[in-house]
């Protein structure tokens, strides 16, 4: 009887609708597990992902109910199901090629690339793809053979309205559950995979379309008068370079080492009688290092991407998300890679062992002017070689050498480390048996010292290579911490370890914990420790002047830290201000919390001079953030090109063929090639020594180019062991 009732129900229009919805949800879930790598890590995320296609599928297919003619109603539902399946299938093929999801901008530009796809698109097909279309084929066959009959009943408007309302309810529930698992998901979108994981492909596509239209609308509303205000503001705040430092490092290689979540208090800190970061301590105090002990990060919601943006462009991150993900794919920049290319013929590259789409880097780096981006595709892929956020630091440095030595000099490169990232977890094999961490009640704190110690060891190995290979002689190494690692909630437990009292810990101490290391190391620099307040916004003008490049005509909101006229104050993205005299918390001037920066005592009663100084700082801080946001949100740099600068053409870059491009340049230049491998008359990879247990007995990971890279088959490398994908290349 139940089977008969079910069979009868399937002959109704409602039954047909439910059948299509369920079949689509099932194939979507299949694709999510089989074709996409969504990083689903707990049961709650699995449930959210299962729910994510349901609401939008109901909404789309319910459109068919609004057509009174039965045959039209059925075919509209099938058409909606077909369109949704096409979107799913297109994303599957795109993901197989690029490990990313299709954006609306990609769809609108599809006509420009479709003619060149040809056989490559066909090669992406897999036998399992038939499962995505099997349900539609069977349902249409059942309709044609009248096994499924067209329900002739009239449903009016109440039924379709009820179904649509239920679809909106399911969608709202999905968004609520997603926000509970990942707060501010749509405001702080650092990876498209996160939106797809939590909200599904349909919602992601709509969201991306809205975001794209908002960007276009902002660009259409751009005002030249706003640009003039910004130019006047930045010009007024420009300061001259220090003649003793200007051009001191002209023509030198530049290596920027990005210390993930690394805070200043780690420098010089001992735990159980052992230095946490002995090598970085030695570099910090080296006779050829200019170090800063009151250097603050200034990141906002964009975290690491905000730090990168400030160092590369000299502008702040945006207030309500990540500039990289919200604007970086379409904005015009005047960034370090292109500036150095135009003024010093520099070659540029980023080495980062995570997926290229994280923080939208694969698009943003092209707009910044980076020639090469070596993401996880260029490194070993064995399971033990990675942690949560990519290839372990020791492996990142070791395996980058085979690419670094092929870059034409001078080069500007950035190494983004990841092991010292929350939750600061380490494999037992990577722990130093001679270093014993703390034993606090907070596991995060205990882990933090272990990952920081590991990061320190990886940099020691990299510096040893620089010295052996000869690169150290003509390279300026810049080392900085991108942002805090331990949060304010952990600071009171941390207090005794850093020589403070948890009983007297205040907002002042929380602010001081936002200090991160900043060091500039080069053989011809006279080392010193600078005690003035400084921040990430000041790095680009400082490096430009050291390299002999004037920043006079560039739109930058920081100042040269080595200038005799440097004014020591900075503003955080949340409005907190730090100067030589004050810590002003709350973006409210004297109405907020104000501390004496040197004593840490709160100022309650202000003198007339203090009121004026605080008001002046608050005004400048507000203007800096306001004009930077105006510049970036309206993409105003597309209207302004500084003298001697050529805007970036992002279409010239292809990060899937980095190795082939370098080989082509080497072959073209022949004896004129300045790549280290040519200058050294052979590979330098064997000079690199590491104690990473993962690479024991696997020297080919350091010395040999992976077949997937050498043969330009990067997409074939995904999910395959690099052990079986190596082929000797270096002779």
The catalytic site residues sit at: 304
Dihedral-angle region of residue 556 (phi above 0 means left; psi in -120 to 50 means alpha; beta otherwise): beta
Alpha-carbon span 665 to 643, nearest angstrom:
28
With b for 16 or more beta-carbon neighbours within 10 A and e for fewer, the 344-370 pattern comes to bebbbbbbbbbbbbbbbbbbbbbbbbb
Are the C-beta atoms of residues 448 and 264 closer than 8 Å to each other? Answer: no
- The DSSP annotation for 164-182 comes to HHHHHHHHHHHHHHHHHHS
Return phi, psi of residue 602, to 5°: -75, 140
Residue 699: Cβ-neighbour burial (10 angstroms; 0-12, 13-18, 19+)? middle
Are the C-beta atoms of residues 231 and 80 closer than 8 Å to each other? Answer: no
Alpha-carbon span 476 to 523, nearest angstrom:
8
E strands present in 187-310 = 253-259, 270-271, 274-275, 289-292, 295-296
Closest-CA residue to 330 (of 417, 222, 247): 222
Alpha-carbon span 38 to 50, nearest angstrom:
12
Q: Are strands 582-585 and 593-596 parallel, antiparallel or unpaired?
A: antiparallel
Residue 29: Cβ-neighbour burial (10 angstroms; 0-12, 13-18, 19+)? middle
Alpha-carbon span 8 to 3, nearest angstrom:
9
Length of the chain, in residues: 731
Q: What is the dihedral of CA 63, 65, 68, 69, to 10 degrees?
A: 90
Alpha-carbon span 578 to 597, nearest angstrom:
8
Helix (H) or strand (E) holding 595, with range, is strand 593-596
Residue 129: Cβ-neighbour burial (10 angstroms; 0-12, 13-18, 19+)? middle
Alpha-carbon span 197 to 387, nearest angstrom:
20
Closest-CA residue to 267 (of 287, 232, 234, 292): 292
Alpha-carbon span 293 to 308, nearest angstrom:
20
CB neighbour list of residue 386: distance below 8 Å, 6 or more residues apart = 353, 376, 392
């Amino acid at each position: 009887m139940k089977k008969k009732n079910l069979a009868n129900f399937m002959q109704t229009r409602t039954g047909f609708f439910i059948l299509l919805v369920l079949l689509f949800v099932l194939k979507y879930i299949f694709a999510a597990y089989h074709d996409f790598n969504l990083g689903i890590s707990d049961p709650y995320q699995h449930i959210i992902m299962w729910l994510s296609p349901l609401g939008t599928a109901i909404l789309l297919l319910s459109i068919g109910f609004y057509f009174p003619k039965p045959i039209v109603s059925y075919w509209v539902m099938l058409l909606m199901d077909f369109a949704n399946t096409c979107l799913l299938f297109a994303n599957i093929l795109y993901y197989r090629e690029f490990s990313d999801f299709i954006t609306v901008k990609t769809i609108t530009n599809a006509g420009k690339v479709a003619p060149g796809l040809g056989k490559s698109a066909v090669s992406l097909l897999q036998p399992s793809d038939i499962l995505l279309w099997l349900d539609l084929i069977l349902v249409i066959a059942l309709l044609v053979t009248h096994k499924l009959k067209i329900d002739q009943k009239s449903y009016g408007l109440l039924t379709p309205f009820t179904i649509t309302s239920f679809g909106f309810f399911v969608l709202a529930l999905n968004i609520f559950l997603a926000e509970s698992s990942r707060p501010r998901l749509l405001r702080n979108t650092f990876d498209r995979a996160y939106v797809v994981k939590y909200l599904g492909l349909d919602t992601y596509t709509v969201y991306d379309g809205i975001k794209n239209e908002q960007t276009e609308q902002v660009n259409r509303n751009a005002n030249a008068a706003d640009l003039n205000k910004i130019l006047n503001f930045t010009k007024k705040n420009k300061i001259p370079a220090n003649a003793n430092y200007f051009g001191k490092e002209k023509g030198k290689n530049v290596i920027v080492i990005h210390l993930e979540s690394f805070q200043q208090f780690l420098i010089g800190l001992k735990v159980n009688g052992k230095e946490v970061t002995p090598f970085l301590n030695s570099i910090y105090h080296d006779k050829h290092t200019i170090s800063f002990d009151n250097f603050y990060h200034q990141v906002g919601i964009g975290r690491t991407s905000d730090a990168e943006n400030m160092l590369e462009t000299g502008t702040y991150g945006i207030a309500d998300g990540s500039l990289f993900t919200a604007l970086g794919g379409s904005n015009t920049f005047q960034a370090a890679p292109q500036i150095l290319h135009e003024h010093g013929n520099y070659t540029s590259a980023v080495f980062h062992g995570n997926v290229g789409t994280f923080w939208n880097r694969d698009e943003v780096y092209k707009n910044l002017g980076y020639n090469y981006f070596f993401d996880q595709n260029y490194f070993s892929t064995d399971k033990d070689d990675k942690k949560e956020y990519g290839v372990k630091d020791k492996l990142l440095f070791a395996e980058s050498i085979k690419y670094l030595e092929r870059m034409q000099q001078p080069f500007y490169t950035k190494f983004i480390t990841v092991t010292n990232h929350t939750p600061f977890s380490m494999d037992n094999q990577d722990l130093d048996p001679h270093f014993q961490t703390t034993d606090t009640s907070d596991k995060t704190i205990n882990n933090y010292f272990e990952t920081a110690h590991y990061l320190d060891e990886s940099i020691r190995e990299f510096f040893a290579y620089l010295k052996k290979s000869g690169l150290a002689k003509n390279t300026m190494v810049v080392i900085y911490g991108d942002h805090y690692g331990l949060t304010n909630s952990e600071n009171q437990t941390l207090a005794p370890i850093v020589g403070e009292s948890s009983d007297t810990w205040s907002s002042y101490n929380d602010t001081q914990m936002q200090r991160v290391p900043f060091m500039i190391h080069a053989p011809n620099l006279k080392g010193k420790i600078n005690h003035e307040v400084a921040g990430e916004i000041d790095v680009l003008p400082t490096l430009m002047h050291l390299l002999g490049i004037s920043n006079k005509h560039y739109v930058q909101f920081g100042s040269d830290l080595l200038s005799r006229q440097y004014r020591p104050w900075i503003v955080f993205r949340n409005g907190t201000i730090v100067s030589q005299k004050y810590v002003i918390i709350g973006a409210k001037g004297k109405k907020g919390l104000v501390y004496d920066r040197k004593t840490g005592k709160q100022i309650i009663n202000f003198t007339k001079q203090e009121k004026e100084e605080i008001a002046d700082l608050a005004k400048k801080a507000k203007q800096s953030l306001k004009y930077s946001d105006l510049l970036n949100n309206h993409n105003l740099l597309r209207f302004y090109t500084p003298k001697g600068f050529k805007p970036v053409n992002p279409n010239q870059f292809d990060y899937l063929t980095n190795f082939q491009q370098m080989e082509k340049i080497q072959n073209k230049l022949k004896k004129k090639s300045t790549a280290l491998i040519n200058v050294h008359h052979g590979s330098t990879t064997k000079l690199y020594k590491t104690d990473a247990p993962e690479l024991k007995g696997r020297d080919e990971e350091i010395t040999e180019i992976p077949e997937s890279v050498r043969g330009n088959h990067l997409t074939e490398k995904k999910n395959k062991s690099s052990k079986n994908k190596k082929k000797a290349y270096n002779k």
